[in-house]
Amino acid sequence: EIVLTQSPGTLSLSPGERATLSCRASQSVTSNSLAWYQQKPGQAPRLLLYGASSRATGIPDRFSGRGSGTDFTLTISGLEPEDSAVYYCQQYAGSHTFGQGTRLEIK
Amino acid sequence: QLQQSGPGLVKPSQTLSLTCAISGDSVSSNRAAWNWIRQSPSRGLEWLGRTYYRSKWFNDYAVSVKSRIAINPDTSKNQFSLHLNSVTPEDTAVYYCARGWEYTSWGQGTLVTVSS
């Protein structure tokens, strides 16, 4: 099973700044089968990116992803108050697994 | 869209059963997969398994629950179900159904509490 480790655990930034979230896999994620989700309290996660860098339908271009193999990054530019949420990475190359999440606070 | 239904309280040792009704797609689609995922404070987000149709039906299950889980499609009602037997309080979680390999659509979530 591929273990995903996200860092940092919590990120506190101001509106307009850029957030960089990391997801590291315990072994290579084949075919860049990695997705990112945003979850707000009381809601189901929402797909942001798939294939490491492709935006899902309706996701603004402030959200971008990169990486391959074992190291992946989600970048959110021009932070807005509504971006406050927990962000998860997920790999779907084999038996699906999730990271433990990064909490993003917009102060 | 995915609409979940099922009880919110299950007794220990019994079977947890949830249903996910699909609209706007088909459970028999050759392009989709249909998943169950749960979320708890102690275990985080945990994929449980999926069912999908590629000329025949396939199921994949997480190792952690493989001995006590079944995910079944129901083509007549365009839905799929989760059955998790021999539950313990550790199975208390919010359960979600979701579409795809990367999960493009999610159900609304069902809080299931395992307690006597």
pLDDT digits (tens, 9 = 90+) for B37-60: 999 999 999 999 999 999 999 999
Does residue A32 register a pLDDT over 90?
A: no
Q: What is the three-class DSSP state of A9? A: coil
Helices (H) and strands (E) in chain B, counts: 0, 11
Buried b (16+ CB within 10 A) or exposed e, A6-42: beeeebebeeeeebebbbbbeeebeebbbbbbbbeee
Chain A contact set for B96 (CB, 8 A): 44
d(CA B25, CA B45): 25
Q: For position A60, what pLDDT does the model report? A: 96
Q: For position A31, what pLDDT does the model report? A: 81
Q: For position A45, what pLDDT does the model report? A: 97
Q: Residue B55 gets which letter from DSSP?
A: S
Taking all residues of chain A, what is their mean pLDDT, rounded to a whole number?
Answer: 96
Contacts of A73 (CB under 8 A, 6+ apart): A20, A21, A22, A23, A65, A66, A67
Interface of A with B (CB under 8 A): 1, 33, 35, 37, 44-47, 50-51, 56-57, 88, 90, 92, 95-98, 100-101
Q: For position A62, what pLDDT does the model report? A: 97
d(CA A68, CA A66): 7
Picking from B102, B104, B105, B110 by the largest number of A CB atoms within 10 A of its own CB, the best residue to mutate is B102
Residue A95: pLDDT band (50, 70, 90) is confident
For the stretch B67-80, pLDDT in tens is 999 999 999 999 99
Higher pLDDT pick, A94 / A82 = A82
